[in-house]
Chain A
Amino acid sequence: MVSTGVEELDRLLGGGGYPDKSTILVVGPSGIGKEALGYWFVSSGLAQGDYCLYVTRLAVSEVRQDIGAFRANGRAEPVWIAAEGGQVKLDINDLVGISSKIKEALRKTEGRRVRIVTDILSSLLMLNPAETVYRFMTQLTAEIKQNYDAVILTTVEEGMHPSQVLAAMQQLFDGVIELRLYEKGLRVMPLLRMVKMRGIPPQPDFFHFSFAGGKMELEAYA
Chain B
Amino acid sequence: MPDLISALALLVAALNVGVFLYGAYWALEIRKALAAPLYKRQSLWVGVIGSLFALFFLVVVGLSVGSVSDVSGNSVATFTVAAFIYVITVMFFVWIDSTMKIARRSDPLRRNTLRWSGLRWFLGF
Contact = CB atoms under 8 A, between A and B. Distances in A.
Interface of A: 30-33, 35-36, 57-58, 62, 65-66, 68-70, 83, 92-93, 122-124, 126-127, 160, 181, 186-190, 211
B108 interface: yes
B106 interface: yes
Interface of B: 25-26, 29-30, 32-40, 102, 105-106, 108-110
A35 B34 CA distance: 12
B80 to A, nearest CB: 35
Given A31-B35, A33-B34, A188-B29, 9 more contacts: A30-B102, A30-B105, A32-B33, A57-B110, A68-B37, A69-B37, A92-B108, A188-B30, A189-B33
Nearest to B39: A31
Nearest to A65: B37
Identify the interface centre among A68, A69, A160: most chain B CB within 10 Å of its CB.
Answer: A69
Dominant secondary structure of chain A at its interface with chain B: mixed
A25 B37 CA distance: 23
Contact of B36 (A35, A124, A186): A35
A83 B37 contact: no
Nearest to A35: B36
Contacts of A190: 33-35
Contacts of B34: 31-33, 190
Contacts of B38: 31, 65-66
B29 A30 contact: no
A33 B38 CA distance: 11
A32 B35 contact: yes
Contact of A36 (B26, B35, B109, B110): B35
A92 B111 CA distance: 12
A83 B104 CA distance: 13
7 contacts: A30-B39, A30-B106, A31-B36, A58-B105, A62-B105, A181-B30, A190-B35
A69 B35 contact: yes
B38 to A, nearest CB: 7
Contacts of A35: 36
B29 A186 contact: yes
